[in-house]
Amino acid sequence: MWEKLDIITNNHVEFKDVTGEVQQVVTRSRLPTGMCYLYVPHTTAAVLINENADPDVMADIAAGLERAVPFAAGYRHVEGNSAAHIKSVLVGQNATLFIENSRLVLGTWQGIFFAEFDGPRRRQLYVKITGD
Amino acid sequence: MWEKLDIITNNHVEFKDVTGEVQQVVTRSRLPTGMCYLYVPHTTAAVLINENADPDVMADIAAGLERAVPFAAGYRHVEGNSAAHIKSVLVGQNATLFIENSRLVLGTWQGIFFAEFDGPRRRQLYVKITGD
Amino acid sequence: MWEKLDIITNNHVEFKDVTGEVQQVVTRSRLPTGMCYLYVPHTTAAVLINENADPDVMADIAAGLERAVPFAAGYRHVEGNSAAHIKSVLVGQNATLFIENSRLVLGTWQGIFFAEFDGPRRRQLYVKITGD
């Protein structure tokens, strides 16, 4: 089974913690063990897994990505959001997680974040669960 | 089942739309729902999912990656293609897609691209399909 | 079935070839065909697949990542390892491989590397095997 989660972003760049929403899909599946596949159906957004304890980490990730791939750098695409496309490619559309005892298997400090690079927008995150 | 798709690239850096070829593998599998796993068996190429509408986006992605990881930057590897290895790592060897109604689940503006960073070359893309 | 592999890193940045250890998990599973999912439960480490022939390639990948995302760049996170978090996000927590004839399907020049960006540390790599 799979579901489409609705995500609303409020800023140009935003990393939104969606760990709880994804876990709810796992819980609804009633599957004790399996896989959880995340997929972002957008070309200027992505999904990432990183620290959910100190919000400065997310601010630093945004700043580090901006340093490597600046929004203002003379691109050709007329919509003016080329850096968002590049960041989307670098961070990626996929994450794949294990399910054990009906819970996502995550490291102690890990959360799942929807990464917006061209917001604010209405977005979706696709979540598919398969049993072992 | 899985297949090896032959890919021919014609430029040093090239993003080749392979959405149609991957969908054909899905169609040949006759599986109505499942997963589609893509794998690049090369160390200077990758697979990415991004906009297939405006070709300027792909040109900008190539330029943005070049800005972040320049081909000429004094590397040690004697073959002189170290930046291609780095780009391959950053963009990645994997993509994982859902199959629904015998079709790849993609966002409205998304296509699947084979990313060449050390061409022109003969390449392969591995495509595996599993049913739910 | 899945296993937690113990990884010990000895340097600040280190790419450790774990291909053999991952293949041993595949072998222990006794599954002739299937999928092998790798997951890094850390926020300053990652997993990558790239050349295992010339060690200069790994040195160049480390240098290229450092050029794109320098460790010293004025971050906010007080632990001082923000660049390690960013590199972890860019390289990624996942790899997904095919299994055929009880062997990982890898390209001729490919190996699997655990990527440490904030070592030396004791780490883990999660490996899950599913049959087709």
Contact A94/C90, CB-based, under 8 Å? Answer: no
Residue B90: pLDDT over 90: yes
**Which chain C residues contact residue B39 at CB under 8 A?**
96-98, 105
* Residue reference for tokens 């609804």: A28
Query: Which of the 8 DSSP states describes residue C76?
Result: S
Q: What is the mean pLDDT of chain B?
A: 96
Length of chain A: 132
Tokens of B58: 């792909």
Mean pLDDT of A45-72: 95
Q: What is the pLDDT of residue A67?
A: 93
Residue A61: pLDDT over 80: yes
Q: What is the pLDDT of residue C75?
A: 87
Per-residue pLDDT of C80-95, as tens digits, reads 899 999 999 999 999 9
Per-residue pLDDT of A17-33, as tens digits, reads 999 999 999 999 999 99
Residues 6+ apart with CB under 8 A from A11: A116, A119, A120
Q: What is the mean pLDDT of chain A?
A: 96
Split at pLDDT 50, 70, 90, the class of A128 is very high
- Quote the radius of gyration of chain C (alpha carbons, Å): 15
A52: CATH: 2.60.120.460
Residue B73: pLDDT over 80: no
Q: What is the pLDDT of residue B74?
A: 81
Q: Which residue of C has its CA nearest to A91?
A: C90
Phi first, then psi, for residue C21 (nearest 5°) are -65, -40
Residue A73: pLDDT over 80: no
Residue C74: pLDDT over 90: no
To 10 degrees, the CA torsion angle through C16, C21, C22, C28?
-170
Q: Say which amino acid occupies A131.
A: G
The interface predicted TM-score (ipTM) is 0.96
- C79 min Cα distance to partner chain B (Å): 25
Residue B118: pLDDT over 80: yes
Per-residue pLDDT of C1-55, as tens digits, reads 899 999 999 999 999 999 999 999 999 999 999 999 999 999 999 999 999 999 9
Domains in chain B, number: 1
Q: What is the pLDDT of residue B69?
A: 95
In terms of residue numbers, what domain contains A24?
2-131
Q: What is the pLDDT of residue B80?
A: 84
Mean pLDDT of B58-81: 90
Per-residue pLDDT of A78-118, as tens digits, reads 788 999 999 999 999 999 999 999 999 999 999 999 999 99
For chains A and C, what is the number of CB pairs under 8 angstroms? 84
- B54 min Cα distance to partner chain C (Å): 25
Residue A74: pLDDT over 90: no
